[in-house]
Structure 1
Amino acid sequence: MNIIEDLRSRGLINQMTDDEGLEQHLNKEQVALYCGFDPTADSLHIGHLLPILMLKRFQEAGHRPIALVGGGTGLIGDPSGRSEERQLNEESVVQGWVSNIEDQLSKFIDFTDDDKGAKVVNNYDWLSQMSVIDLLRDVGKYFSVNYMLAKDSVESRIENGISYTEFTYMLLQSLDFLRLNQKENVTLQIGGSDQWGNITAGLELIRRTSQEGEDIKAYGLTVPLITKADGSKFGKTAGGAIWLDEKKTSPYEFYQFWVNADDRDVLKFLKSFTFLPLEEIEELKKEVEERPEQRTAQRRLAEEMTKMVHGEEALNQAKRITHALFKGDVKQLTKDEVEVGFKDVPTYKLEESEKGLVDLLVEASISSSKRQAREDIQNGAIYINDERQQDLKYVINADDQIDEAFTIIRRGKKKYFLIRHM
């Protein structure tokens, strides 16, 4: 199975220019391809994963990926897929984000110093050297306003307004494709479905700047927009985006995002994001159909993704935290694991070495009053480190501390509270 056949079987092709020509081109020789990533934050998120993994798939198929980090275009803002203007960021901020993103990309793509190997480039290196006159003469003259207005990224914004800055974004991305075509022999640009207009504009620039009679090899391919069956946006949770930076989204939270995938989504996610053979995914499909309560496919997905993004050790930690919470065995967790697993629960700082349970429940706002606290304890609603406690005279002390740092109190089935011992 060649790379295009594999992508088709996984549902990873949305649009392609010259389908037959591109497939023959890829089968005939090693192809240099690129995908761009604009630094709009200090980290990439899982919405970027699909195009990143596309570059990885092409590399594993023997082709040469180039990851373009848009230090230049990131200063302008891509209107594609947005209903309003992006906020412009300071140049020093954007360049700092560029460095972070380059490091993240290196986790997935094998960059080498070899001229024929994969590489990461920054379009600030050439865009910052151009004058306005250069841009207008060497690029702008090849695009009519009517052509640009017809692009979805522009047309969808006309009614509410689009600045000249964002209007000209496609010129910069087109120039990127042209430059990489000339300097790196890049013949294929890939991107999300919202990038189709920018990609085809780049193809148009390559065509119009080529010599008459020249054999033009340039193609475009987009991946589909990943959506969730319940209609919510992929990669978003109540806490916000799922980031690739473990400081912004912990490996445990990352693992939980995937393990909580809907049965209607999990097979699509396995095909799109993992490198598991399609035969194995078919076996997991049977698990979803016959034993959905075991969530075998979701756990396999979560393991593959967490290991790929954060590594084996982080995966093991995420699984330990998950197991401890599910089995009620939180005493086995370390201080760091407690902080990760309970980062979003209400926290109370306790300075005394000992504290009566009734008083603590009130002071930590776990129970609304001493009367309520006594009722909660007597009714068996209070758990200390997942062990029920019904003694009204119980005193929290050093024996209740996990790793000499925390005590976890649960009220009822799901309301957790973290006591941090000072």
Structure 2
Amino acid sequence: MNALLDDLTWRGFVADSTDRDALAAHLDAGMVTSYVGFDPTARSLHIGHLMQLILARRLQQAGHRPLLLIGGSTGLIGDPKMTGERVMNTKETVSAWVASLAEQTKKYVSFEGENGSRIVNNLDWTGPLSALDFLRDIGKHFSVNRMLARDVVARRLEDGISYTEFSYVLLQSFDYAELHRLYGCTLQTGAQDQWGNITAGADYIRRTTGDIVHGLVTPLLTKADGTKFGKTEGGTVWLDPELTSPYAFHQFWLNAEDAKVMDYLKIFSFRSHDELAELAEQTEQAPYKRLAQRALADDVTDLVHGVEARKAADEAARALFGRGELAALDDATISAVMGEVKATEVSTRDGELPTVVDALAASGVVASKSAARRTIQEGGAYVNNAKVTDPDARLSADQLLAGRYAVLRRGKKTVGGVILTR
């Protein structure tokens, strides 16, 4: 068997593939050009896409050439989803998102050397295509019966599905055919929900050229209870630091479940088999140290945001619990910390700042103002890591972080925050 395919299987990248033996032989035969597509349905990719980018990177590290397709045309249509029709974004919005995603994907692969990657946009070949040419040259090769049997289409038939989304599979199949023609692409990768689109494209190429091409899909990642991975109370975990700060990103991975953390490490980390085995053993012996979670959070944040951003996120976490200097954090990190502790907005009255008692109660770290006073008297109240001893103390302007934030803490572990507004 092919060593790369064996490793990808061990790491959890392979949910299904076209003929495995044929794919293994194909990967052994020389440099393979593959592609993975990303539709611009938002201005940023999220961690669900990260698995695909890492797979592309692993293929390249093994000597193959990955193409990264940004769906300028398919993004205008929308891949059918189980829950209903997608919102049709304007052409201007989609175009801006194409540029954003193209820039975002660049850091994950190399564009140098014989197997250097390339970013492609399917609008380049779909845009000039007339409706008549599309129906005659592409649509002729697709059976409506087979299209109706696709799982997502079958589920949507009761409530209805537009012809636009129904025809999406034709567009993606045409993408594979064009990349096969232009670049000799013979492998398409994607998430498991793309299996029908990928196999349809392989079949279309076989019907029109006689060539055999391949497909490989990754599993849809889930939490231990089977629910979708990659969501938090605040929503999707984005790769764009303006949408999900490096601090919140790092915290997300730190909170990975014990039952799943090694699975995530195999996929999202580039550590070797031996390193992962040693880490698994250390974690099993001392689970309270959360060594696997720390390794996961550090590795993925380093990859997506860089080492310096990860160090800043780590320092922010230390500062939040009194083991570092909050005032040393930059404004963006402080804002992210406030979001993480679900800071409460507190209005100032006539320019007067609230008392520490009021701030403690508003932040939720104590149940009431009387409890706040008691906490102060017992020596367990902190404002920005400075102990407060006066129950009548009031927040001062020089205490505030970035001129408007205050971190409130009770004891060592109960943390909240307030955001001062006028």
1:339 offset after TM fit, Å?
2.2
Judged with a 3 Å threshold, the aligned counterparts in structure 2 of structure 1 residues 161 and 398 are, in CA distance, closer, same or farther, namely closer
1:257 has 2:267 as partner: no
What percent of counterpart residues are identical?
Answer: 44
Task: For 1:36-185, list aligned pairs within 5 A.
Answer: 36-79=37-80, 81-112=81-112, 117-185=116-184
Cα distance change of structure 1 residues 76 and 358 upon mapping to structure 2, 3 Å threshold: closer
**Cα 1:2–1:361 shift into 2, 3 Å:** closer
Structure-2 separation of matches of 1:354 and 1:163: 58
CA contact (8 A) 2:321 2:415 kept: no
Distance in 2 between residues matched to 1:321 and 1:365, nearest whole Å: 19
Closer/same/farther in 2, CA of residues 181 and 331 from structure 1, 3 Å limit? closer
Map of 2:285 onto structure 1: 290
Asked whether 1:239 is paired with 2:238, we answer no
1:417 maps to 417
Superposed counterparts of 1:319-358, under 5 Å:
319-331=314-326, 333-336=328-331, 337-343=333-339, 344-348=342-346, 357=355
For the structure 1 residues 352 and 318, does the alpha-carbon distance in structure 2 shift closer, same or farther, using more than 3 Å as the test? farther
Q: In the alignment, residue 344 of structure 2 is paired with which amino acid?
A: P
Q: Is the 8 A contact 2:169 2:197 kept in 1?
A: yes
Per-residue deviation, 1:332: 5.1
What SS does the corresponding residue of 2:309 show, helix, strand or coil?
Answer: helix
Distance between the aligned counterparts of 1:109 and 1:365, measured in 2? 44
Match of 2:275 among 280, 284, 287: 280
List aligned pairs for 1:363-382, cutoff 5 A. Answer: 374-375=373-374, 377-378=376-377, 380=379, 382=381
> Over residues 345-378 of structure 1, what are the superposed CA-to-partner deviations in whole Å (9 max), with x where a residue is unaligned?
1133658898573675499677898766545533
Letter matched to residue 109 of structure 1: V
Q: Does the Cα contact within 8 Å between 2:206 and 2:212 map onto a contact in 1?
A: no
2: CA distance, partners of 1:329 / 1:387: 11
**Structure 1 residue matching 2:198: 3-state secondary structure:** helix
> How far apart are the structure 2 equivalents of 1:309 and 1:34?
21
CA distance in 2, matches of 1:294, 1:369: 34
List per-residue Cα deviations over 1:267-305 (Å, max 9, x = no partner): 000011111101111111112211000000100000000
Specify whether residues 421 and 170 from structure 1 end up closer, same or farther in structure 2 by C-alpha distance, changes over 3 A only: closer
- TM-score, normalised on structure 2? 0.91
Corresponding residue of 1:31: 32
* Deviation (angstroms), 1:232: 2.9
Change (3 A) 1:394 1:161: same
Q: Is the 8 A contact 1:111 1:120 kept in 2?
A: no
**SS in structure 2 opposite 1:222?**
strand
User: Residue 187 and residue 368 in structure 1: after superposition, are their counterparts in 2 closer, same or farther (change >3 A)?
Assistant: closer
Any residues of structure 2 matched to 1:13-32 within 5 Å, and which? 13-32=14-33
Tell me the secondary structure at the aligned position of residue 159 of structure 2: coil
Q: Which residue of 1 aligns with 2:214?
A: 219
Aligned partners of 1:7, 1:365: CA distance in 2, in Å? 46
Specify whether residues 403 and 44 from structure 1 end up closer, same or farther in structure 2 by C-alpha distance, changes over 3 A only: closer
User: Measured at CA, do residues 27 and 371 of structure 1 come closer, stay the same or move farther in structure 2, by a change above 3 Å?
Assistant: closer
Give the distance between the partners of 1:241 and 1:162, measured in 2 at CA.
26
- State the alpha-carbon separation in 1 of the partners of residues 38 and 419 from structure 2: 42
CA contact (8 A) 2:343 2:419 kept: no
1:389 counterpart = 2:388: yes
The alpha carbon displacement at 1:417 in A equals 2.0
| TM-score when normalising by structure 1 | 0.91
Alpha-carbon contact 2:111-2:117 (below 8 Å) kept: yes
- Please list every run of 5 or more consecutive structure 2 residues that lacks an aligned counterpart in the other structure: none
Point out the more displaced range, 97-106 or 389-398.
389-398
Residues 363, 418 of structure 2: 8 Å contact kept: no
Instruction: Using the TM superposition, name which of 235-244 and 269-278 deviates more.
Output: 269-278
**Residues 68, 390 of structure 1: alpha-carbon distance in 2 compared, 3 angstrom cutoff:** same
Q: Distance in 2 between matches of 1:327 and 1:395?
A: 21
Cα 1:278/1:351, change in 2 over 3 Å? farther
CA distance in 1 between counterparts of 2:360 and 2:29 reads 73
Q: Secondary structure of the equivalent of 1:189?
A: strand
In the other structure, the counterpart of 1:201 is 200
Distance 1:271 1:370 in 2: 48
Question: Once superposed, what is the RMSD of the aligned Cα atoms?
Answer: 2.6
In structure 2, distance between residues paired with 1:174 and 1:93: 24
Q: Equivalents in 2 of 1:335, 1:289: separation in Å?
A: 37
**SS of aligned partner of 2:108:** coil
Contact 1:266 1:297 (C-alpha < 8 Å) held by counterparts: yes
Please tell me whether the aligned partners of residues 345 and 418 of structure 2 are also in contact (alpha carbons under 8 angstroms).
yes
Q: CA deviation at 1:100?
A: 0.5
